[in-house]
A and B are shown apart, each in its own frame.
Chain A
């Protein structure tokens, strides 16, 4: 099956700093999503981005499907950005199963 790798596994930032999270995947995909898991475990949808670039406030994402990677940018980080960020992909022909990476754990400090 498709493999998803996220980096870095852990990241500590001071409030106000910027960061880039990376997601590499092993095969062509027609679905890529970024999620933020909050301290209560809920998965919050950030971006649905199988290709191209999107922005939502301080967050933006870019997926380069031909090179099999996606990047999530967080600018001017805040303590509420802390949590785990997951990338998940689905490839056509695999019955629409979403496969998750192991996540990037982000801690934003004052």
Chain B
């Protein structure tokens, strides 16, 4: 089936550690996105990428890093510089341009312990 796969579903991290969240899509979409959602809040954009080997900061990029070495994959690293990393992280993809539909993965729930 075509879709977006995020892993793991739940992730626990000790303070001071970096952790990488996986996002893979087989929809042949060029554009991919990472969003963060805090309890009771909407989604905020962390990073996005429109093509391989290119990505841009979103509204809340501090403390995060990404790479886009393959069209299918857009991993997100939550670094120790992120002061409040506990949140729900959602990955999305779509064809490039403003007028195309976006699809989301099932999310990764990250908890700092």
The chain A residues found within 8 Å of chain B, CB to CB, are 1, 29-31, 33, 35, 40-43, 45, 48, 50, 86, 88, 90-103
Contact = CB atoms under 8 A, between A and B. Distances in A.
Given A43-B90, A43-B104, A100 B98 contact: no
Nearest to B37: A41
A45 B99 CA distance: 15
Closest 4 CB pairs of A and B: A48-B101, A30-B99, A43-B104, A100-B43
B56 A95 contact: yes
Interface in B48-89: 48, 50, 56, 58-59, 88
Given A96-B31, A97-B45, A98-B92, A88 B102 contact: yes
B106 interface: yes
17 contacts: A1-B59, A29-B98, A30-B99, A31-B102, A41-B107, A42-B104, A45-B104, A86-B42, A88-B43, A88-B102, A90-B98, A92-B98, A94-B98, A96-B96, A97-B33, A97-B45, A101-B42
A50 B106 CA distance: 24
Interface string B22-59: 00000000010101010001111100101000001011
Contacts of B44: 100
Contacts of B59: 1
Contacts of A100: 35, 42-44
Contacts of B96: 96
Contact of A31 (B41, B90, B100): B100
A94 B59 CA distance: 13
A31 B43 contact: no
Contact of A33 (B42, B56, B102, B107): B102
Of B42, B45, B48, the most chain A CB neighbours within 10 A belong to: B42
B52 to A, nearest CB: 16
A102 B41 contact: yes
A101 B31 CA distance: 21
